[in-house]
Structure 1
Amino acid sequence: MCLVFVCGEDERVVSRQQAPGSCPYCGGMIQAVDVDSRWNFCFVPLYHKTKRRHYCTMCSRKLVVK
């Protein structure tokens, strides 16, 4: 008997916006990205959340906002 569980996470970018301030590493512009993430189990959605992430446009670093 063989059981195969198909699990996965799908992420897609919903929107991009310019954020105030500059990157502390290179001084580039910061971009706020809204990401829609979903966890699926055998094609049945279990979890859905929209997250906002901040990235530098020049050095592509992920920035943490406190």
Structure 2
Amino acid sequence: MVCFCFLVDQTKKVSKRKPAAGFCSRCGGGASVADMKTCTRFCYVPFYWKSWKAIVCTFCGAILRSYR
């Protein structure tokens, strides 16, 4: 029996941020609206990416709400 194992990873990057009204419910830090990019790689070759907006905490980095 032969078993193959491949490396698959996913990264999330923030490209732009703008301040937003409100506070984080987890740590109490400020909130900002961010343009996020998600890239999924298979054996170090990107094969799927997606751009979306999210409200992110500026202190702890938690995603409070996402708009896809």
TM-score relative to the length of structure 2: 0.63
Residue correspondences, number: 64
Q: Percent identity?
A: 27
CA distance in 2, matches of 1:65, 1:35: 9
- Which blocks of at least 5 consecutive residues in structure 2 are unaligned? none
CA distance in 2, matches of 1:11, 1:54: 14
Aligned to 1:45: 46
TM-score relative to the length of structure 1: 0.64
Specify whether residues 10 and 63 from structure 1 end up closer, same or farther in structure 2 by C-alpha distance, changes over 3 A only: closer
* Matches for 1:1-66 after TM superposition, within 5 Å: 1-19=2-20, 21-23=21-23, 25=25, 29-57=30-58, 62-64=63-65
Specify whether residues 13 and 24 from structure 1 end up closer, same or farther in structure 2 by C-alpha distance, changes over 3 A only: closer
